[in-house]
Amino acid sequence: MKVAFIGCVETSHAAFTQLLSHHVEGEIELVALITKSQSVFNSDYASLVELAQEFGIETTFFVNDIDYDKALSNKHIDMLFCIGWSHIIPNRILHQVKKAAIGFHPAKLPSNRGRHPLIWALALGLSETASSFFLMEEKVDSGALVDQEIINISDTDYARDLYNKVLLTIPRQISKIVTGYCDNSIESQPQIAASSSYWRKRSAIDGAIDWRMQAKDIYNLIRALSSPYPGATFLKSGEIYTVTRATHHTEMVALNLEPGKILNTTRTQVHVKCSGTSSLWLENIDGSQFTVGEYL
């Protein structure tokens, strides 16, 4: 069974590595890789080039849609995996694939289609998400589900923690999918369109902390945008500060203190009043740059 792969981020690397193990075992023949040599767009970029070279996989570096044709035409592809890719695959390419063109989305489809699924899941305080593989079609993230595993989200999970949970899940799913298509046991499940929802693209303003929010909501925002993402931000005296970690203050603070007031500082922390009686300790912040009683 001839297989092609498209991707350029950490989830791509996890999937490609697992596919290579099936390639070595002779279950599939990986015949093409479409990837990028670098990316300023993907903060979780991961190179697949070294792996492809090690196993002699023909590699095409993506510039525009013509590269799909260059890489895949006349290769008689049975399966195409597209994982960790920010470009829409043209229909003409999907129609060339004999058995299945399979996409990936780390959300509980049909809910939460669209952009930045791990970030939104954490920012909204969800208790679970999923790792979903589906048949690609013209409408993004809408094809029948091939495999889906639920991933629990802890209150203490930051973006890297949740991302790692996805990375651990992907190889297991890849093996199930390859085996299922090799022995024709895969049974895809159509998504219920009426149950679908879409997350929009995150913008810079979505990462700006508003101290009038509850401390829990600010905490969720901070962990959602932590590494490998750019971090939540706040403004002080015209300077932008980035926050990548925070801790809830367990005791209630006075209700009559305004949101954004600095309550305390240490060498590496700043304690800030939030909405109501809630407050937050911002971690890994140089407390000497802040004065108790001033406002953010």
Same domain, 25 and 165: yes
* C-alpha–C-alpha distance, residues 170 and 205, integer Å: 31
**For the domain that residue 47 is a member of, what is the CATH number?**
3.40.50.170
Query: Which of 183, 199, 215 is where one domain is finished?
Result: 199
Same domain, 67 and 100: yes
**For the domain that residue 262 is a member of, what is the CATH number?**
3.10.25.10
Same domain, 168 and 218: no
* C-alpha–C-alpha distance, residues 31 and 14, integer Å: 18
Task: Find residue 100's DSSP bridge partners.
Answer: 79
Same domain, 136 and 9: yes
φ/ψ of 250, rounded to 5, equals: -75, -25
Same domain, 219 and 188: no
116 φψ region: left (φ > 0), alpha (ψ -120 to 50), beta (else): left
Evaluate whether residue 295 is within a structural domain: no
- In the chain, the number of structural domains is 2
For the sheet containing 279-283, what is the strand order? 246-248, 279-283, 269-273, 262-265
Same domain, 165 and 43: yes
Evaluate whether residue 296 is within a structural domain: no
**279 and 296 in contact (C-beta within 8 Å)?**
no
Query: Which of 199, 233, 253 is where one domain is finished?
Result: 199
* C-alpha–C-alpha distance, residues 12 and 153, integer Å: 22
Same domain, 26 and 134: yes
Same domain, 239 and 192: no
Same domain, 112 and 250: no
Kind of pairing, strands 246-248 and 239-243?
Answer: unpaired
Same domain, 156 and 264: no
Same domain, 165 and 272: no
* C-alpha–C-alpha distance, residues 229 and 226, integer Å: 5
Position 16 scores a pLDDT of 98
Q: Return averaged pLDDT per consecutive 10 residues of the chain, 296 residues in all.
A: 97 98 96 91 90 96 94 94 94 95 97 95 98 94 96 97 98 97 93 92 92 97 96 92 92 93 95 96 91 94
Two structure tokens written together for 145: 């589900």
Task: Find residue 264's DSSP bridge partners.
Answer: 271
Cα radius of gyration (the chain)? 22
pTM equals 0.94
DSSP line for the chain: -EEEEE--BHHHHHHHHHHHHHHHTTS-EEEEEEE-S--SS-TTB---HHHHHHTT--EEE-SSTHHHHHHHTTS--SEEEE-S--SPPPHHHHTT-SSEEEEEESS-TTSSEES-HHHHHHHTT-SEEEEEEEE--SSTT-SPEEEEEEEE--TT--HHHHHHHHHHHHHHHHHHHHHHHHTT----B---GGG--EEPPP-GGGGB--TTS-HHHHHHHHHHTSTTS--EEEEETTEEEEE--EEE--S---TTSPTTBEEEE-SSEEEEE-STT-EEEEES--GGG--TT-B-
Range(s) of the domain holding residue 256 = 204-289
Same domain, 141 and 179: yes
Side chain identity, residue 114: G
How far from chain centre, in Å, is Cα 198?
A: 15
276 φψ region: left (φ > 0), alpha (ψ -120 to 50), beta (else): left
